[in-house]
Amino acid sequence: MERKEIIEELEKGICELIVVDKDSVEDVISATLSTNHLPEMEDGFDLSQDKYNILLWNLYNEQWQKYPVNFIIGVERLTGHGIKNNEQKLSADCINSIGNIIYENT
């Protein structure tokens, strides 16, 4: 995935990123650049991106971090407009109904 595409996904919502470190060890982090999820920033905080690294808000560590673009090997957006739809997933009401039927028949 290109640097620009990664930043666009991060700006649209919360993403799960698969990252590797210098020893090729994979890790999964939740991160964002969506203003809905960012902490209050001090005046003058620089959110500019350079061409080799991506500055992002790490939701697990609750801190700003820079990741080299070539260390990010996968991106899946979890929130925001345009995520995969959930039509094929069971709703909470449906699960409740199934649970009640099973309970009544035991």
pLDDT digits (tens, 9 = 90+) for 33-88: 998 888 776 665 666 778 889 999 999 999 999 999 999 999 999 988 776 655 44
User: Bigger pLDDT: 25 or 103?
Assistant: 25
For residues 28 and 94, the answer to whether their CB atoms sit within 8 Å is no
Residue 54: per-residue pLDDT: 92
Cα 17 from chain centroid (whole Å): 6
* CA distance linking residue 10 with residue 80, whole number of Å: 10
* CA distance linking residue 64 with residue 56, whole number of Å: 6
Residue 99 pLDDT exceeds 90: no
Question: Where in the sequence is the domain holding 72, given as residue range(s)?
Answer: 3-104
Residue 88: per-residue pLDDT: 46
Helix (H, G, I), strand (E, B) or coil at 23: coil
Name residue, tokens 């070539």.
70
Residue 42: per-residue pLDDT: 66
**Domain of residue 66, CATH code:** 2.30.30.520
**What is the domain count for the chain?**
1
